[in-house]
């Protein structure tokens, strides 16, 4: 199916097979599952390397798919209908993002790390400018600049230890990688089922980190079984529902639900770690979210005018 073109009647570039309400509902579930996954990863990071955590996450999440395929005969899940290369690249990039996210959450409080991952929306116009040659006007450049002022408020460079800045760097790099994944999922959603995309991501991700396991693995204790299982199941749910979200709704409708994570991160951080976000985290998060929404609204406006995809379009 050809990619839909934004028009005045179809400002988001939606396909005829889209179901926006289903996509948005799936996005809400996906981002809640993501918050649960990062909570479990942070709990495990006290005794496990991030590669070790990523391996268990992918392996445990893969088991329900393997059981479904073998016991229920869902062999169609294995069938790749599009380019295997795109699916493999998406899986490799997704695994890199997973390691960066786990690294950021292992070094930072949950609300801090979540605020940094929010900047993924700010990287969209930057990627469009440098990678696609798109014209980015003063509105979006201004929003990007304001958003990164919010990052400085959150990070407080020079006020914390070097480990904190390492976590900040990993969080920002994860946000950059996240900004590319939505486009890949939207492309794959035109021909692949969410189950197929999720299955191969988990399988390739597990294989990708396996060679490092003899050097970083730590045997889980009995007390770590619950967070390990929670890590895997929430990770599988996140990937599955995220694929559903981008399959049935344009990125412009899915992306804003990303900001629900700050609610869950704040509640989890307070309930589990007794870590309530400080004033700078709340203020910086508000600035980042506001700047990201400006970017999203501006892109929606340009899409409505049919200008978003044209290099050199006036802004």
Domain-embedded: residue 310 = no
pLDDT given for residue 69 in this prediction: 86
Residue 161 domain-assigned (yes or no): yes
Question: What digits encode the pLDDT tens for the residues 165-214?
Answer: 888 899 999 988 887 876 676 667 677 877 888 888 889 999 999 999 99
Assigned domain for 298 exists? yes
Domain-located, residue 1: no
The parent domain of residue 145 ranges over: 20-304
Three-state DSSP at 122 gives helix
More confident residue, 49 or 67: 49
Q: At residue 16, does pLDDT exceed 50?
A: no
Identify whether the C-beta of residue 116 lies closer than 8 Å to the C-beta of residue 171: yes
Q: Is the pLDDT of residue 162 over 60?
A: no
Per the domain annotation, does 14 fall within a domain?
Answer: no
Gap between the Cα atoms of 56 and 244, Å rounded: 23
On whether residue 233 sits in a domain, the answer given is yes
Contact 258, 119 (CB under 8 A): no
CB count within 10 Å of CB 32 equals 19
Whether 10 shows a pLDDT value over 50: the answer reads no
- Is residue 51 pLDDT above 90, yes or no? yes
Rounded distance, CA 258 to CA 31, Å? 6
pLDDT band at 49 (very low <50, low <70, confident <90, very high): very high
pLDDT at 292: 83
> Is 7 inside a domain boundary?
no
158's enclosing H/E stretch is: none
Phi-psi region of 136 (alpha: psi -120 to 50; beta: other; left: phi over 0): beta
The domain tally of the chain equals 1
pLDDT band at 279 (very low <50, low <70, confident <90, very high): confident
DSSP 75: G
Phi, psi for 62 (deg, rounded to 5): -75, -30
pTM of the predicted structure, to 2 decimals: 0.76
Whether residue 312 is contained in a domain is answered as no
């Amino acid at each position: 199916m050809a990619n839909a073109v934004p028009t005045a009647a179809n400002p988001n570039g939606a396909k005829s097979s889209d179901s926006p309400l289903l996509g948005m509902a799936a996005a809400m579930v996906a981002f809640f599952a993501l918050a649960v996954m990062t909570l479990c990863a942070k709990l495990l990071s006290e005794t496990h390397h991030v590669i070790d955590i990523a391996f268990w996450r992918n392996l445990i999440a893969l088991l329900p798919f393997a059981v479904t395929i073998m016991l229920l005969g869902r062999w169609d899940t294995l069938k790749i209908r599009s380019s295997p290369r795109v699916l493999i690249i998406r899986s490799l990039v997704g695994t890199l993002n997973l390691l960066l996210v786990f690294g950021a959450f292992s070094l930072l409080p949950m609300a801090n790390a979540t605020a940094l991952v929010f900047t993924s929306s700010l990287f969209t116009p930057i990627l469009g400018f440098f990678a696609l040659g798109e014209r980015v006007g003063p509105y979006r450049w201004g929003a990007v600049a304001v958003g990164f002022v919010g990052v400085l408020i959150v990070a407080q460079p020079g006020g914390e230890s070097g480990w904190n800045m390492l976590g900040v760097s990993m969080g920002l790099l994860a946000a950059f990688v996240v900004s590319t994944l939505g486009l890949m999922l939207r492309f794959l959603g035109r021909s692949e089922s969410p189950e197929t995309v999720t299955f191969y991501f988990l399988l390739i991700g597990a294989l990708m980190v396996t060679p490092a396991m003899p050097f970083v693995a730590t045997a889980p204790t009995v007390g770590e079984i619950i967070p390990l299982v929670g890590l895997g199941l929430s990770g599988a749910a996140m990937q599955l529902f995220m694929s559903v979200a981008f399959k049935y709704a344009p990125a412009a409708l899915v992306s804003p639900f990303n900001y629900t994570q700050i609610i869950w991160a704040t509640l989890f951080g307070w309930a589990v770690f007794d870590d309530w976000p400080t004033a700078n985290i709340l203020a910086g998060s508000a600035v980042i979210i506001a700047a990201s929404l400006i970017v999203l609204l501006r892109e929606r406006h340009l899409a409505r005018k049919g200008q978003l995809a044209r290099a050199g379009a006036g802004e």
